[in-house]
Amino acid sequence: MPFVCCHGHHETTTVRKGESRRDRIDWKAADRQRAKQEGPIRRASMRIFEAMADPIPLDVIADAIRSGQADALLQYINAPELPPIDLEKVPAKMRKAATPVTATGVAITSAATRAEQKEIAAALQIRTALQSLAWASGESASAGLGGSFTLANPYTVPWLEQRTAELVVEITTTTREAIRETVAQLYLEGGSPQRLARRVKPLIGLRSDQMRAVLRRGEELTVAGVSQAAQTRALDAYGRKLLRQRAELIARTETVFAQAAGQNQAFQLAVDQGLVLAGSVRVWVADPGERTCPICLDLDGQEQPIGGMFESLIGPLEMPPAHPNCRCAIVLETR
């Protein structure tokens, strides 16, 4: 019986007991495939960040800094609701992207503002990207099991729906926390609220640690006697770089997540159809890189039944990723 690797296509082979499981995974091919899949999620994340920053007036940011109260500003930062879609009213290009998720429903046209429409469109793109990822890994699973079943869409859609909604909320929540913290800090430090507002606006979408890094860089430039204009340019560029890094990290982590979920559902389907013998186990395989962290090293080689949870240093885990940027994989070892 072959096993299925979570890296998707063309990765079916057999692991015999005693063989190194890490060696049976073509990590380079897996990375190449992930890189391809990360693009849409990265771009969608960037669009969510932009959609968050765009509609906020500078005055509102300045008032928040002046008063030390982020509340009025935070009212602008909300996760998009995902109401039912009216496909008739959606532009043709969008309709094509939305077709696989019609049942989940995303209303682009019923959104009140352009910013809301952009956010929903971005969420839709993430959802579509995740969906195609899971379907792709499902197809490879069916190939590995002799093509005797195909992964039906309903097996992946609910998870993807839920995960996309969670992801958008996660991005939004982290951004709100970063804004709250930054406003409080700038209030204590003082300075012209208008000037600080212009500095903060391009940073909306960053995490707290990233916002702090930009503020620190600003202090360093001031100490170094750099002109205001040059500072603004340097900090804008630095902020954009960090936004791209955040989007990159989200995309990487979500790709691992979507692949593992698609694989999980394929395993379950295989069990349901009697294609996998009882007693087959999922094995956690850590990325063989030098920088593999203690959490993943600890998980490496652990066996769990299909549908079971892995025990980790950070609590029970259904599947990779164990943490952002985790590159671990699961293999199915049949008995």
What residues line the site for Zn ion (CB under 5 A)? 293, 295-296, 322, 326, 328
Minimum Å distance from CB 178 to Zn ion? 24
Q: Give whichever of 237 and 297 is closer to Zn ion, judged by the CB atom.
A: 297
**Residue whose CB is less far from Zn ion, 221 or 329:** 329
Residue 24 DSSP class? G
Q: Which is nearer to Zn ion, 161 or 254 (CB)?
A: 254
> Which residue type occupies 44?
A
Q: Considering the complex, what minimum distance in angstroms separates the CB of residue 299 from Zn ion?
A: 7
Q: Which residues contact 328 (CB under 8 A, 6 or more apart)?
A: 256, 284, 285, 286, 287, 296, 299, 300, 320, 321, 322
Task: Please tell me whether residue 46 adopts helix, strand or coil conformation.
Answer: helix
**With helix as H, strand as E and coil as C, how does 251-274 read?**
HHHHHHHHHHHHHHHHHHHHHHCC
Shortest Å, Cβ 6 to Zn ion? 12
Distance in Å, CB of 13 to Zn ion, minimum? 21
The two structure tokens encoding residue 274: 């009697």
CB of 288: closest distance to Zn ion in angstroms? 11
CB of 296 to Zn ion, least distance (A): 3
Q: How far is CA 43 from the centre of its chain?
A: 11
Shorter beta-carbon distance to Zn ion: residue 187 or 284 = 284
What phi and psi, each to the nearest 5 degrees, are found at residue 235? -75, -35
Cβ 184 vs Cβ 220: under 8 Å: no
Within a 10 A sphere around the Cβ of 78, how many other Cβ atoms?
13
Question: 117 or 304, CB closer to Zn ion?
Answer: 304
Cβ proximity to Zn ion, 136 vs 322, nearer residue: 322
C-alpha to C-alpha distance for 155 and 263, rounded to whole angstroms: 11
